[in-house]
C-alpha cells in the first residue's frame, strides 16, 4: 500500500519523504535539501526563464473567418488575396486631353518680299483684339519696315464650339494652329508663354531668342500686358526687331 501511495504521489509531482530504513542498500549518496539545485545552477549557463503562455480564451480558433483572412494566400503570383487589400488607384487626365480656353490673334505684315507676324495669346473671354494691342502691333511693324502697313487679321478662339462630343483638347488645338503656320510670315513674334506649346517653342525658352520650326523663326516674348506695365521692357523688344533685321544669312 505504501509503495502504491508513493508511486501516486511521485506521479503528481509531490516529493516523497522516505524513511531511512526504507532506503535501498545501493551505494547512493544522501544529499541535503537544495544541494542538487545549487549544483545545477553552478554548471548550467544562465538562461532566461520563459513561462509558457496559454492562448487567451478570446483568441478566435484557427478555423474562424478571421484566421482564414490572415493566413490564406492567393496562389496566383502578383495578385493580392483580397480586393480590399489592394491600394486605391487614382486616374489623372492626361495634359493633352484637357480642353484649354484661349484666344489667339494674328496680325500678318508684308512689305514687298519681306514679312513678319505678331501673335497675341489672350483670355478666352476677350471679345476681339483690343484696340491698344492692335496699335502696339502697328508700332512694331512701323519700326520694322519704317513705314505704316495694313496687316491681315485673323483669330482662333478655342474651343471653337461648345460641344462635348467634339475633341477639342490641347493636342487638337496645336494641330489647328499648325495647319495655319504657312499663312504666317517668316518671322513670328509670339506674345505670351502660354502660347509657346502651340508653336513647338520650349516652355523655358529665353525671351527674345528665336526658335527655328518648320521653316519659320518663332520669337518667344512675354505677355503683351508686360510691355504695357513695364515700358522699359520695350527696349528689349526693339533689340529683337534689330535682330530680325540683321538675321540675313541665318534665315537659310
Domain count, the chain: 2
Q: Are the beta carbons of 240 and 220 closer than 8 angstroms?
A: no
pLDDT at 247 over 90: no
Nine cell digits for residue 126:
476677350
| Closest of 169, 167, 164, 168 to residue 95, by C-alpha | 169
pLDDT band at 165 (very low <50, low <70, confident <90, very high): confident
pLDDT at 80 over 80: no
**Same domain for 239 and 167?**
yes
Q: Are the beta carbons of 195 and 104 closer than 8 angstroms?
A: yes
Mean pLDDT score of the chain = 74
**Same domain for 24 and 124?**
no
d(CA 5, CA 123): 106
pTM of the predicted protein model: 0.61
87 belongs to a structural domain? no
pLDDT band at 6 (very low <50, low <70, confident <90, very high): low
What percentage of the chain has pLDDT greater than the value 70? 60
41-75 pLDDT per residue, tens: 444 444 343 344 444 455 555 444 434 344 444 54
**Same domain for 13 and 118?**
no
- Using CB atoms within 10 Å of the CB of residue 197, give its burial: 0 to 12 exposed, 13 to 18 middle, 19+ buried: middle
21 belongs to a structural domain? yes
Instruction: Quickly tell me which residue has 491600394 as its cell.
Output: 87
**pLDDT score for 177:** 95
**Same domain for 236 and 166?**
yes
**pLDDT score for 93:** 37
Task: Give me the mean pLDDT over the 134-148 stretch.
Answer: 95
**pLDDT score for 231:** 85
**Same domain for 134 and 204?**
yes
| 229: CATH | 3.40.470
**pLDDT score for 100:** 94
- Using CB atoms within 10 Å of the CB of residue 219, give its burial: 0 to 12 exposed, 13 to 18 middle, 19+ buried: buried
173-222 pLDDT per residue, tens: 999 999 999 999 999 999 999 999 999 999 999 999 999 988 899 999 99
89-137 pLDDT per residue, tens: 443 334 445 789 999 999 999 999 899 999 999 999 999 999 999 999 9
**Same domain for 13 and 107?**
no
198 belongs to a structural domain? yes
What percentage of the chain has pLDDT greater than the value 90? 50
Please give the residue range of the domain that contains residue 186: 98-251
Amino acid at each position: 500500500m505504501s509503495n502504491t501511495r508513493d508511486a501516486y504521489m511521485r506521479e503528481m509531482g509531490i516529493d516523497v519523504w522516505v524513511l531511512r530504513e526504507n532506503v535501498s542498500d545501493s551505494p547512493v549518496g544522501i544529499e541535503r535539501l537544495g544541494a542538487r539545485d545549487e549544483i545545477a545552477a553552478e554548471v548550467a549557463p544562465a538562461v532566461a526563464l520563459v513561462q509558457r503562455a496559454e492562448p487567451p480564451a478570446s483568441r478566435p480558433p484557427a478555423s474562424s473567418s478571421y484566421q482564414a483572412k490572415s493566413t490564406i494566400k492567393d496562389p496566383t503570383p502578383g495578385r493580392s488575396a483580397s480586393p480590399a487589400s489592394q491600394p486605391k488607384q487614382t486616374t489623372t487626365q492626361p495634359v493633352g486631353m484637357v480642353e484649354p480656353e484661349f484666344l489667339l490673334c494674328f496680325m500678318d505684315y508684308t512689305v514687298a518680299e519681306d514679312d513678319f507676324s505678331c501673335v497675341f495669346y489672350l483670355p478666352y473671354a476677350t471679345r476681339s483684339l483690343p484696340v491698344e494691342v492692335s496699335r502696339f502691333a502697328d508700332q512694331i511693324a512701323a519700326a520694322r519696315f519704317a513705314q505704316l502697313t495694313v496687316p491681315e487679321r485673323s483669330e482662333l478662339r478655342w474651343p471653337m464650339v461648345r460641344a462635348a462630343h467634339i475633341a477639342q483638347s490641347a493636342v487638337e488645338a496645336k494641330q489647328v494652329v499648325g495647319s495655319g503656320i504657312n499663312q504666317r510670315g517668316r518671322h513670328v513674334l509670339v506674345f505670351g508663354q502660354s502660347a509657346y506649346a502651340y508653336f513647338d517653342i520650349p516652355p523655358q525658352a529665353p525671351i527674345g531668342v528665336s526658335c527655328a520650326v518648320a521653316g519659320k523663326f518663332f520669337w518667344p516674348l512675354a505677355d503683351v500686358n508686360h510691355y504695357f506695365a513695364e515700358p522699359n521692357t520695350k527696349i528689349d523688344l526693339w533689340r529683337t526687331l534689330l535682330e530680325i533685321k540683321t538675321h540675313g544669312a541665318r534665315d537659310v
